[in-house]
Amino acid sequence: MSRPVPKITRRAILSASSLALLSLFGCGRDAPPRPDELRGTPYNEPLQKPDFILTSSSGGPFSFREDTEGFVTLLFFGYTHCPDVCPIHMANIAAVLSTLPPRVANQVRVVMVTTDPDRDTPERLRQWLDNFNPSFVGLRGSLNEVNDIQQGLGLPPASVYGEGEDYSVGHSARVIAFTLDNRAHVSYPFGTRQTDWAHDLPELVEGKWNTR
């Protein structure tokens, strides 16, 4: 039985669709990119893929470096109660993967590390990610562990705002793309369009990150 899509997820999908329509008109760029130019933001020096082990949404250990070997891996830090950035990123990536040829889509792994381990149990992570794509991997560790990983990647630590159960978590809005050389050459900020993902993912799978 399919699970009902939460209201926030439906809103995110609608927002993602709106962003996709805007992208058809070229909003957000002063000039069209070259055909061979990756749409992601390049790193001056590539990031090494980190080697950490956290608990997966299936309940078992997940070794990030080992279990993503041989895949283009999109790493994101967020949480399931996020009202905008997280569901929109996930909806955009899921929508694009569903349109790509299997030879490309099957070579892409999406991993989300929760920045809200108190509320994001493995079960909740799994249910939330299934609304986008059942292949997406959710990971959970202590907030100290997660912030250490983020620091190693040059990302700001997650910060909790508010009290009680209805708090929010400030976190990075950037998706880091690790390629088959176990490095990240580009990352993708919030606002990355579906057309950008559709252009870059095949390029990254085919190892064309160094042809920019």
Residue 31: pLDDT band with limits 50, 70, 90 = very low
- Does any domain span residue 196? yes
| pLDDT value of residue 208 | 84
Contact 212, 179 (CB under 8 A): no
**Mean pLDDT of all residues in 121-143:** 97
Distance, in Å, from the CA atom of 7 to the CA atom of 162, rounded to the nearest integer, reads: 22
| pLDDT value of residue 36 | 65
What CATH number should be reported for the domain holding residue 134? 3.40.30.10
- Does any domain span residue 147? yes
pLDDT tens across 74-115, in order? 999 999 999 999 999 999 999 999 999 999 999 999 999 999
- Does any domain span residue 104? yes
Task: Look up residue 202 and give its two tokens.
Answer: 């095949």
- Does any domain span residue 20? no
- Does any domain span residue 192? yes
Distance, in Å, from the CA atom of 2 to the CA atom of 56, rounded to the nearest integer, reads: 22
- Does any domain span residue 19? no
145 CB-near residues (< 8 Å, 6+ apart): 52, 54
**Phi, psi for residue 102 in degrees, rounded to 5:** -55, -35
Distance, in Å, from the CA atom of 180 to the CA atom of 94, rounded to the nearest integer, reads: 21
Residue-range definition of the domain harbouring residue 148: 41-160+168-211
Residue 165: pLDDT band with limits 50, 70, 90 = confident
More confident residue, 23 or 115: 115
DSSP string, the chain: -PPPPPHHHHHHHHHHHHHHHHHHTTTT-SSPPPTTS-SSEEEEEEEEPP--EEEETTSSEEEHHHHTTTSEEEEEEE-TT-SSHHHHHHHHHHHHHTTS-HHHHTTEEEEEEES-TTT--HHHHHHHHHTT-TT-EEEE--HHHHHHHHHHTTPPPPEEESSTTS-EEE---PEEEE-TTSEEEEEE-TT--HHHHHHHHHHHHTT-GGG-
Residue 25: pLDDT band with limits 50, 70, 90 = very low
Q: How many domains does the chain fold into? A: 1
Distances (CA, A) of 115 to 3, 45, 108, 204: 24, 26, 22, 27
- Does any domain span residue 185? yes
pLDDT at 191 over 60: yes
Residue 12: pLDDT band with limits 50, 70, 90 = low
| pLDDT value of residue 210 | 65
- Does any domain span residue 15? no
Mean pLDDT of the chain: 86
